[in-house]
Amino acid sequence: MKFTIYQESRIGRRKSNQDRLAYCYSRDALLMVVADGMGGHLHGEVAAQIAVQYITEAFQREAKPTLQDPFLFLSRALTNAHHAILDYALEKELPEAPRTTCVCCVVQGSVGYWAHAGDSRLYVLRGGRVLAQTRDHSRIQMMVDQGLLSEHEAAAHPSRNRVYSCLGGSHAPQIDFSRKTPLNSGDVVVICTDGMWSPLGNGTLAKGLTGVNLMQAVPRLLDQAESLAGANGDNLSVIALMWEDNYGETALGSVQTQTMPMDSFTTQLEMFGQGRQPPGPELSDDDIEKAIEEIRSAIQKYSK
């Protein structure tokens, strides 16, 4: 495999960052996952952390160096992450389980496979256009699909952040799966939370990631999204991948996996408590350490 990949998460104008994201690759398979936590101070962060950490660890157990069935992997990984979040809530005796959106993509054999629950999105961009994208699990998206709202009206609707499918919570998630999507050299795969795609819109996102170096273009788009969102800006997170599986000139930041050992992985995942704002009076270092142990306990049951 040969690709360029960049990920970044920002707090925006919120008091804490409940987004989590990670990518991981073996010699012949790549995983990307983004989650946007919901459920009040700390618990939304934990739900997103459990989802991203569980799915990443499951990939490391099963990609040897490819997944036998990527869609089956996605189905089991998201479902088990959902149950791990419920176990966390039960252990903590929470009145309601915390929730998180999740979008997860596997690439192997130059084919993309993805699944999602909620309104975090995946886009495949080709030639400056959106070749494929996920459909939000939101009532606003349903109204757009039914012709009751325009895309412009939906972007400013006060209920635009309400979703009917997620991991965690009181209902089993609706998980939608893609078709097998062959990737050509130069295609860009983007997965991001609504804090990224909502202020920008599809046109700006596609234009900003066409014919560019991702390492420079993605931070510029994050800057633009933060500026457009203004004082009420949400957390914003993105992973962008440019597929380059040919013998062309190596791009800045390009990854080549041919020489990786069969049983090795490279992972970019911030563990809970890393890369966040300094602990405040509501979240001490002890709180973070306790949360890390609780996350590990919730994941352990399904890590077999």
CATH of region 2-300, choose from 3.60.40.10, 3.40.50.720, 3.40.50.2300, 3.30.230.10: 3.60.40.10
Q: What is the pLDDT of residue 146?
A: 75
Per-residue pLDDT of the chain (304 residues; tens, 9 = 90+): 999 999 999 999 998 999 999 999 999 999 999 999 997 656 899 999 999 999 999 999 999 999 999 999 999 999 999 999 999 999 989 888 899 999 999 999 999 999 999 999 999 999 999 999 999 998 888 877 777 776 666 766 666 678 899 999 888 999 999 999 999 999 999 999 999 999 999 999 999 999 899 999 999 999 999 999 999 899 999 999 999 975 344 455 678 887 788 778 888 887 777 655 544 445 677 777 788 888 888 888 787 6
What is the rounded (10 degree) CA torsion for 155, 157, 159, 161? 20
Domain definitions of the chain by residue range? 2-300
Distance, CA of 91 to CA of 24 (rounded, Å): 29
